[in-house]
């Protein structure tokens, strides 16, 4: 169970997240974190990952206050994939994922079992053909897929992904979200994903969190959180949520309201 209680996070003296409390999130849930640019989504993930110490409040995972344990212990339970990936090193894709596996409890010592496990994950991501390619030779989208493999191979209890679809084409966006949902449900992870595409959130999420200016606007089932009224308040757009011929809800934007302040 993930609990966020009265969390306050700041950069220097400016509050970014203000006294945020969430309804507890159970294992096996993929939750989309939504909101306008600059509203605190990345800051919230960094605070959960221990990269930004909160001014106040707590992040509790399965009864353990993550702020009370050292970074090494936290890294065994929490994996954070940033929006901007670090500069590529001269490692092959397969090697880089094996290195990530060694950073966790997953057995990947370079033997046959470890390689088979990594290759299976790369295949499920559709990038097994890149296994022997070097990271510094890959495109931005390919690097993003490798980053997702590095995160998933560690099998964390809490997986934090900041815009993991930003460099991916339509095919891979659907493919990755489908795989994230499978991994989350099968292994009892708690996965938080920062997204800008509301239709992807509606289709692939078990729940949604909507924030604006560091404050909570809504949390719950996707269709309960993503509503015309919420989109007007949060994004400043006139929008409808209607179901397509297959019954899947979709956001349709009709125009702009007054600019969001």
Q: Are residues 121 and 177 in the same domain?
A: yes
pLDDT band at 110 (very low <50, low <70, confident <90, very high): very low
Q: Are residues 196 and 78 in the same domain?
A: yes
Q: Are residues 175 and 253 in the same domain?
A: no
Q: Are residues 255 and 192 in the same domain?
A: no
Geometric angle at alpha carbon 11, from 5 and 13, rounded to 5°: 100
Render 72-116 in DSSP notation, one character per residue.
Answer: HHHHHHEEEE-SSPPPPPS-BHHHHHHHHHHTSSS--SSSHHHHH
* d(C-alpha 116, C-alpha 101), whole Å: 12
pLDDT in tens, 211-230: 999 999 999 999 999 999 99
pLDDT in tens, 63-79: 999 988 988 889 889 99
In 3D space, the residue among 8, 13, 47, 18 whose CA is nearest the CA of residue 217 turns out to be 18
* 68 CB-side CA count, 13 A: 8
pLDDT in tens, 175-216: 999 999 999 999 999 999 999 999 999 999 999 999 999 999
The CATH number linked to 134 is 3.40.50.300
Contact 208, 230 (CB under 8 A): no
pLDDT band at 109 (very low <50, low <70, confident <90, very high): very low
pLDDT band at 104 (very low <50, low <70, confident <90, very high): low
Q: Are residues 157 and 236 in the same domain?
A: no
In 143-195, at which residue ranges do the beta strands (DSSP E only) sit?
Answer: 158-162, 190-194
* d(C-alpha 83, C-alpha 33), whole Å: 13
Residue 27 confidence (pLDDT) = 97
* 145 CB-side CA count, 13 A: 27
pLDDT band at 257 (very low <50, low <70, confident <90, very high): confident
* d(C-alpha 106, C-alpha 117), whole Å: 10
Measured between alpha carbons, how far is residue 127 from residues 26, 94, 120, 131, 257 in Å? 31, 10, 10, 7, 42
Which helix (H) or strand (E) segment is 209 a member of?
strand 207-212
Residue 261 confidence (pLDDT) = 56
pLDDT of 111 higher than 70? no
Q: Are residues 215 and 117 in the same domain?
A: yes
Measured between alpha carbons, how far is residue 22 from residues 1, 216, 220 in Å? 12, 8, 10
Q: Are residues 211 and 255 in the same domain?
A: no
> Within 10 A of 149 (CB to CB), how many other CB atoms are there?
23
* d(C-alpha 53, C-alpha 244), whole Å: 43
Q: Are residues 157 and 55 in the same domain?
A: yes
Mean pLDDT, rounded, for 227-255: 94
Mean pLDDT, rounded, for 230-254: 94
Q: Percent of the chain at pLDDT above 90?
A: 80
Range of the domain at 249: 227-261
pLDDT band at 259 (very low <50, low <70, confident <90, very high): low
Residue 123 confidence (pLDDT) = 96
Q: Are residues 178 and 232 in the same domain?
A: no
Q: Are residues 48 and 130 in the same domain?
A: yes
Lowest mean pLDDT among 19-23, 228-232, 256-260: 256-260
* Average predicted confidence (pLDDT) for the chain: 91
Mean pLDDT, rounded, for 37-65: 94
Q: Are residues 222 and 246 in the same domain?
A: no
Q: Are residues 22 and 33 in the same domain?
A: yes
* 21 CB-side CA count, 13 A: 4
pLDDT in tens, 125-172: 999 999 999 998 999 999 999 999 999 999 999 999 999 999 999 999
In 3D space, the residue among 91, 87, 112, 115 whose CA is nearest the CA of residue 101 turns out to be 115
């Amino acid at each position: 169970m993930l609990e966020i209680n009265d969390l306050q996070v700041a950069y220097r003296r400016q509050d970014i997240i203000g006294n945020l409390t969430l309804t507890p999130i159970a294992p096996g849930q993929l939750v989309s974190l939504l909101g306008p640019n600059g509203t605190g989504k990345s800051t919230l993930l960094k605070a959960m990952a221990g990269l930004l110490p909160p001014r106040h409040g707590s992040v509790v995972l399965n009864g353990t206050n993550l702020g009370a344990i050292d970074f090494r212990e936290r890294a065994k339970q929490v994996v954070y994939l940033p929006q901007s990936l670090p500069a590529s090193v001269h490692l092959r894709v397969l090697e880089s994922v094996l290195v990530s596996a060694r950073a966790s409890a997953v057995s990947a010592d370079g033997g046959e079992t470890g390689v088979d496990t990594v290759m299976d994950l790369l295949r499920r991501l559709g990038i097994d053909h890149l296994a022997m390619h070097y990271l510094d030779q890959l495109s931005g989208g390919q690097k993003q897929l490798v980053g997702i493999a590095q995160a998933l191979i560690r099998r964390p209890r809490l997986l934090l992904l900041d815009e993991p679809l930003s460099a991916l084409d339509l095919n891979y966006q659907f493919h990755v979200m489908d795989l994230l949902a499978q991994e989350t449900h099968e292994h009892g992870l708690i996965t938080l994903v920062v997204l800008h595409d509301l239709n992807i959130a509606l289709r692939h999420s078990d729940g949604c969190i909507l924030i604006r200016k560091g404050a909570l606007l809504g949390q719950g089932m996707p269709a309960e959180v993503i509503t015309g009224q919420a989109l007007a308040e949060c994004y400043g757009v006139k929008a409808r949520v209607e179901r397509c011929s297959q019954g899947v809800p979709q956001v349709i934007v009709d125009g702009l309201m007054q600019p969001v302040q």
